[in-house]
A and B are shown apart, each in its own frame.
Chain A
């Protein structure tokens, strides 16, 4: 069957099944299990209303548990097994093996670099753009254009930036803009930027910063607009300059939003895979954890170490997870 027809059929079947499930399960509940008539009508209605939320929740909870909660446990279990020994329990041997791998430490170092640089830079740029565009007439267009990379895939962005970093032999016209500028400013040899160890990490980070700045800008722009104008006016009357107003009045008031943006970008950064995979595939010391994991899982076929490195990513996310859950619990109480 042609995939497009299959897809269409899946939409119809999927949506139909969902609707049918919700519709008929409610009917079964109300008409047959706890009918709202006869001697126990009142009690039956109450009982039906106790069960009903779970009817509504069941498909989602089932999918969430199977596709996200169970894998966390299963990955943890796999990280303690060795597939080559018939899934024998090997304790922390996979972790020991991973910690002895210099590539892993390279990935760790790079990930930490990414975590320091990308969220900070994106948030800072986002804040600057949000503030600058707030009061100019064509600010909305400017925001739209800076926001645009959000819609571009990491792979597409990688191609875009690979062209920027392209290098041609010395003496010919450079078609990568970075080398063109470098030569124009008096550089003699064009540089293959992505192969310069250590610094190439930053050239990869630029891609993610380019994408995430728009996100930071949008959220922070909304926060800036939410600031009560009288606080700003009071500061102007007291003789504060524009920079003082920005740093001492506005930024403190949107601090919680800044933290939210920061953590959201941090999570995105931790999981970064496509950019490294498409641009260098971890060569020239640009490995990161997610790509290291992919390498172990699908090239080396080493599920033990692969799972162990996935658990490391999970551990790095956990503080944010706990903090989010804590805040939501506080809110709903």
Chain B
């Protein structure tokens, strides 16, 4: 208890909310406290957290690993076994090579594998006994022929008469190969221009939707938030309530009326429509977040500026906007994730019959329909769409947390 007290006494003032936020992703200052007192309990805590983290990560890691495996590998074994050696029953391989005469024997030597790598666990010369022999064994065939097969696939075939013109025997092998991963899926989905199912265009379309749809609402909302936070006018409280009310309106309600509107005024389905829709749907949260943040800015700064003769426009652009950067960043991340990951708004307002403007989420849904069993394609496509938000997430996690904390209505 003593050391946790010492830690707390460092700060004479109550912790500000911001410090709490900062603390969420930092570990606790001391190992003391409730859990620390009983070591058995501490172990239980460590183990259960470990278990939960494992549980939460496992599915995503599965997708990630699968995107680096070939379709055959994914279909034949679970991704969790991909890191260990792969045991595989190969299709029959027919021996081939140049015949050499050694004494009274006709000998053919060679390797059944085109590329080295796999090593043979067992083999056979008949489809009814595919694991009759181990590596190094010799199989005696009819007509005094023999086959010896080593673990690395090199073989020695002998016969008493020339095999010229007759078919050589087949071998059935069970091999084990080291773990093998490939970039081929990413090549196919991103850089193959002939692949109509590729993700490259959808990737750029998503980017095209996302960036304006993130930037424009911020500016519009910031001005409104400033007015709601720092300007006196009748009906202000009512307007704040109006914004909070709209915060939870399901956007499902907006689909038909707005599509009708867009078609009516000639915007139709396209980027302009989807930008406007995302702007409209993002505004309540933007205004709410920014207003709450701006209300908390120190009154002195703003009033001093007013006394010094600054116009409201100057106060806003020179003082409020720079000070509100954390709130702006929080909203920007939330809006970015939301527009990047959106399927519904894009399907309704953007994607037309031509399919030229498809976004990644939509592309994946279509792949799920047409290529349901091709996990190498699905996993790669999904991971391409996930990777950008993940990077943003890990780079700017603190702002995201701040936005979520401020954005859940209290």
Q: Which residues of A contact B (CB under 8 A)?
A: 3-4, 6-7, 10-11, 14-15, 18-19, 22-23, 26, 30, 50, 52-54, 56-57, 59-61, 63-64, 66-72, 74-75, 78, 125, 128-129, 132-140, 142-156, 158-164, 166, 168, 172-177, 180, 210, 213, 215, 218-219, 221-222, 225-226, 229, 232-233, 236, 242, 245, 256, 260-261, 263-264, 267, 270-271, 273-274, 277-278, 290, 293-294, 297-298, 303, 306-307, 310-311, 313-314, 317, 320-321, 324-325, 327-329, 332-333
Q: Quick check: is B75 within 8 A (CB to CB) of the other chain?
A: yes
A236-B34, A310-B250, A321-B248 given; name 5 further pairs at CB < 8 Å: A156-B382, A159-B368, A163-B79, A260-B408, A297-B255
Given contacts A60-B283, A159-B368, contact A23 B313 (CB under 8 A): yes
B357→A152 contact, CB < 8 A: no
Partner of A264, one of B15, B31, B239, B408: B408
Residues of chain B lying within 8 A (CB to CB) of residue A156: 341, 361, 364, 382, 385-386
B379 to chain A, nearest CB (A): 7
B211→A11 contact, CB < 8 A: yes
Instruction: Please name 22 pairs of A and B residues whose Cβ atoms are closer than 8 Å in the assembled complex, sorted by A.
Output: A3-B208, A6-B271, A10-B212, A10-B272, A14-B215, A56-B231, A70-B257, A132-B45, A132-B48, A135-B34, A146-B56, A155-B385, A156-B385, A161-B59, A163-B79, A164-B62, A225-B15, A226-B20, A242-B38, A261-B408, A273-B344, A325-B241
A134→B341 contact, CB < 8 A: no
Partner of B49, one of A142, A152, A294, A317: A142
Main secondary structure of the interface of A (DSSP, over half): helix
Within B208-240, which residues are at the interface with A (CB < 8 Å)?
A: 208-209, 211-212, 215-216, 219-221, 223-224, 226-228, 231-233, 236-237, 239-240
A19→B75 contact, CB < 8 A: no
A108 to chain B, nearest CB (A): 15
A56→B31 contact, CB < 8 A: no
Q: Quick check: is B393 within 8 A (CB to CB) of the other chain?
A: yes
A3→B205 contact, CB < 8 A: yes
* Contact size range, B: 35 or more
Q: Quick check: is B409 within 8 A (CB to CB) of the other chain?
A: yes
- C-alpha gap A129/B48 in the complex (Å): 9
B27→A159 contact, CB < 8 A: no
- C-alpha gap A18/B250 in the complex (Å): 27
A324→B386 contact, CB < 8 A: no
B237→A332 contact, CB < 8 A: yes
A210→B56 contact, CB < 8 A: yes
Residues of chain A lying within 8 A (CB to CB) of residue B158: none
Given contacts A53-B227, A68-B280, A261-B408, contact A143 B364 (CB under 8 A): no
Within B290-325, which residues are at the interface with A (CB < 8 Å)?
A: 311-313, 316
Given contacts A56-B226, A332-B237, contact A147 B361 (CB under 8 A): no
- C-alpha gap A332/B243 in the complex (Å): 13
- C-alpha gap A161/B368 in the complex (Å): 12
A234 to chain B, nearest CB (A): 12
Q: Quick check: is B375 within 8 A (CB to CB) of the other chain?
A: yes
Residues of chain B lying within 8 A (CB to CB) of residue A166: 375
B342 to chain A, nearest CB (A): 8
Q: Quick check: is B102 within 8 A (CB to CB) of the other chain?
A: no
Task: Name the residue among A61, A172, A271, A306 with the largest chain B CB count within 10 angstroms.
Answer: A61
B361 to chain A, nearest CB (A): 4
Q: Quick check: is B155 within 8 A (CB to CB) of the other chain?
A: no
Q: Which of the segments B170-178, B192-200, B397-405 contacts the partner chain?
A: B397-405
Q: Quick check: is B191 within 8 A (CB to CB) of the other chain?
A: no
Residues of chain A lying within 8 A (CB to CB) of residue B277: 67
A225→B59 contact, CB < 8 A: no
B60→A149 contact, CB < 8 A: yes
Partner of B34, one of A19, A74, A245, A317: A245
